[in-house]
């Protein structure tokens, strides 16, 4: 018998919020039927209007708050929720940290894995922490605007202060926007794949204060290029690098493969854990260096390294973890699929006079299988995979190599729990409590460090 849906679209209901989803939406239930409501928190009561009904859940919006949570902070700006820039801005920061710890616990509980999760390591100031911004440039109401996409759409909402970015980056974006307006550069229109400027990216070293501006264009030609560069430098005299990146494809990918240096250097420098890094326009470099230092220090500490150890760093990027590890051990091998990142990693090793590292461009799972076949016997393996987690074949190769310890740096607790379960089936167990680290305050993302040891 078909179950009746207990709510009707456009009707109003009084509900109590009893949970938050991993996306930070409040959950209410009517006859056990879940309704997801933006900008609500557990223990709040509200009158809501149902705006969308599916067969197993619905979405609602708040019409009136009846009881507010003591953890609610009045929003800095509604636009940060609308665009998804800061979906947890209405939740007090200590409650955000508790929410993130709870998310890790829940993902392990779902798989029946018993483990202890420590309190999330947070920031003293959980705002203006991002050292990189990439913002779309579009025509909005007949005017060139920079901003961010409204959630689940390609409509740009004009924004001048992004709240979670380095304030100098916010100022730079506005200066570039005004210069582009002055020279009447045409913004990209993705519906017809026309227009010149697609995105503006700004990177700024937290310690070096070096700044790079990247103008991402659809066309090779950037009209009035010299005038634009000169005007940007008038507004922002301390900019170290201006790059034009050409992305002529019909794609959601942010950047193309062609970089043209318009001013200054092709890279900027920054320091992390006492090491210097060259960062190019396309380098992956952690966007919250303050928390990255805590995260990587934890990974090194929990790896329990010995001077004679051989370590593999899977997903090594531009070598940030590898070079940190190399200072404590005999040899480090790093693998990363992006060839340009490996070139950066090799340069960064030279820059820091570190010789006991070897970097290879390859898929992590393929290279691990190759190293295993070659008889490489690492003492410790560090993995820092993307959100999709580890490939099953990589876990198999790691198990065959039988390192004493696997240090798993995760950015997604759901795939972490799944991968830990696979490791457990191959004779590994969690050694210490899991340590979450808040790399992305005001958002729902969670990083963590987990140590696995062979039983």
Nearest to 245 by CA among 266, 230, 270: 266
Catalytic residue among 411, 415, 426, 429: 411
Residue 377 exposed, middle or buried by CB count within 10 Å (0-12, 13-18, 19+): exposed
Compute the distance between CA of residue 20 and CA of residue 40 in angstroms, rounded to an integer: 8
Alpha helices, DSSP H, located in 352-404: 364-373, 392-401
Q: Are 329 and 356 in contact (CB under 8 A)?
A: yes
How many Cα atoms are found within 13 Å in the side-chain-facing hemisphere of 91? 28
Phi-psi sector, 310: left (phi>0), alpha (psi -120 to 50), beta: beta
Compute the distance between CA of residue 37 and CA of residue 65 in angstroms, rounded to an integer: 12
- Taking residue 256's Cβ as centre, other Cβ atoms within 10 Å add up to 17
Residue 432 exposed, middle or buried by CB count within 10 Å (0-12, 13-18, 19+): middle
Is 316 among the catalytic positions? no
Compute the distance between CA of residue 286 and CA of residue 270 in angstroms, rounded to an integer: 11
Where in the sequence numbering do the catalytic residues fall? Answer: 411
């Amino acid at each position: 018998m078909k179950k009746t849906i207990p709510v009707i679209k456009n009707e109003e209901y009084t509900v109590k919020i009893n949970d938050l989803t991993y996306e930070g939406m409040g959950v209410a239930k009517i006859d056990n039927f879940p309704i997801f409501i933006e900008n609500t928190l557990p223990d709040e009561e509200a009158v809501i209007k149902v705006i969308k009904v599916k067969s197993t859940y619905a979405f609602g919006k708040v019409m009136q708050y009846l009881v507010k949570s003591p953890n609610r902070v009045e929003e800095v700006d509604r636009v940060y929720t609308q665009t998804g820039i800061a979906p947890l801005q209405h939740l007090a920061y200590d409650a955000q940290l508790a929410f993130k710890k709870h998310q890790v616990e829940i993902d392990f509980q779902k798989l029946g894995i018993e483990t202890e999760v420590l309190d999330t390591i947070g920031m003293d100031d959980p705002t203006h922490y991002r050292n990189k911004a990439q913002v779309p440039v579009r025509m909005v109401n007949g005017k060139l605007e920079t901003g961010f996409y409204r959630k689940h759409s390609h409509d740009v909402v004009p924004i001048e202060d992004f709240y979670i970015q380095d304030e100098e980056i916010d100022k730079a974006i506005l200066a570039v926007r005004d210069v582009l307006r002055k020279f009447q550069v045409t913004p990209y229109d993705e519906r017809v794949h026309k227009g010149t400027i697609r995105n503006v990216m700004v990177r700024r070293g937290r310690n070096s204060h070096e700044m790079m501006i990247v103008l991402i264009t659809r066309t090779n030609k950037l009209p009035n290029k010299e005038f634009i560069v000169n005007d940007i430098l008038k507004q922002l005299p301390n900019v170290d690098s201006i790059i034009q990146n050409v992305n002529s494809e019909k794609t959601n990918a942010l950047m193309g493969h062609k970089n043209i240096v318009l001013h200054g250097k092709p890279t900027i420098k920054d320091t992390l854990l006492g090491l210097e890094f060259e960062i190019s326009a396309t380098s992956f470099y952690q966007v919250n260096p303050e928390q990255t230092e805590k995260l990587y220090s934890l990974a090194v500490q929990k790896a329990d390294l010995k001077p004679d150890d051989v370590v593999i760093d899977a997903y090594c990027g531009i070598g940030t973890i590898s070079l940190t590890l190399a200072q404590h051990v005999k040899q480090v091998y790093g693998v990363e699929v992006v060839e340009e990142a490996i070139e950066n990693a090799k340069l960064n090793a030279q820059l820091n006079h570190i010789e006991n590292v070897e970097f290879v461009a390859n898929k992590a799972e393929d290279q691990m299988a190759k190293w295993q076949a070659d008889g490489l016997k690492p003492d410790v393996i560090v993995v820092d995979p993307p959100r999709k987690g580890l490939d099953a074949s990589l876990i198999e190769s790691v198990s065959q190599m039988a390192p004493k310890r696997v240090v798993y740096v995760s950015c997604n607790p759901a795939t972490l729990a799944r991968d830990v379960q696979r490791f457990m089936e191959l004779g590994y167990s969690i050694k210490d409590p899991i340590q979450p680290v808040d790399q992305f305050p005001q958002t729902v993302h969670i990083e963590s460090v987990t140590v696995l040891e062979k039983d």
